[in-house]
Amino acid sequence: MAGAVSWKQLLINALESNSNLKHSSFLQLATVGSNGRPANRTVVFRGFLDDTHKIQINTDSRSRKVFHLGIEDLRHCPFGEICWYFTDTWEQFRINGKIDIIDDTVLDPIKLQQRDKAWFASSLKSKLQYLGPKPGIPCFSEEPPPQQFSLDPSTGPVSAFCLLVLDPDQVDYVNLKTNDRLAFTSQTSVNGEKCWNTERINP
């Protein structure tokens, strides 16, 4: 029975049911630092990549290792686990997979196009954050940073803008209202396509 519903559909349903809450698109992304310790931070879900199961997140490539999502850390250990708890429907998704870093050093034209698309899909306010003072660096002045940057809406991504694409290979779903729990694991077939197996788990 459980095999009938994909985790992507469950996630789309959860986003829909919790869409009245601003924080419903906020998730926690865990990675491993180059010191071998875990790191964890809230990031914003930026949709699936085209019609795939891959999850898009934007980040600032200037971010300091200790307190932000460290791109250098990700190069060291390219895996992440999302923990996404929906506060209205009491559903939790844990999504583990490999993260692809698409910054301005990438050469693949298709990936650069994906980065462009993610940039143009961002709000002006989001975009301006990539023009602000270097993030994660102590500010010694009490002065607020200059708020007015000019930004031509037709200009492509600034160099600090980085798209992360998490390609899930296992997903754990739990609904605390119904006590339903499903484990989704993927296998890659001979033609390179991912197929998902669903297993019902005792919560």
Q: Give residues in contact with a copy of itself (CB under 8 A).
A: 21, 23, 26, 28-32, 36-42, 66-67, 77, 79-83, 85, 87, 92, 94, 96, 133-139, 145, 170, 172, 183, 199-203
Q: Phi, psi at residue 197, to the nearest 5°?
A: -105, 140
The least CB distance from residue 59 to a copy of itself, in Å, is 14
Closest CB to a copy of itself among 45 and 117? 45
The answer to whether residues 82 and 172 touch, using CB atoms and an 8 Å cutoff, is: no
The least CB distance from residue 78 to a copy of itself, in Å, is 10
The least CB distance from residue 68 to a copy of itself, in Å, is 9
Closest CB to a copy of itself among 37 and 50? 37
Closest CB to a copy of itself among 94 and 115? 94
Closest CB to a copy of itself among 35 and 159? 35
Q: Tell the burial category of 57 from Cβ atoms under 10 Å away from its Cβ (0-12, 13-18, 19+).
A: buried
Q: How far apart are CA 174 and CA 203, in angstroms?
A: 7
Q: Map residue 34 onto helix, strand or coil.
A: coil
Q: How far apart are CA 154 and CA 104, in angstroms?
A: 17
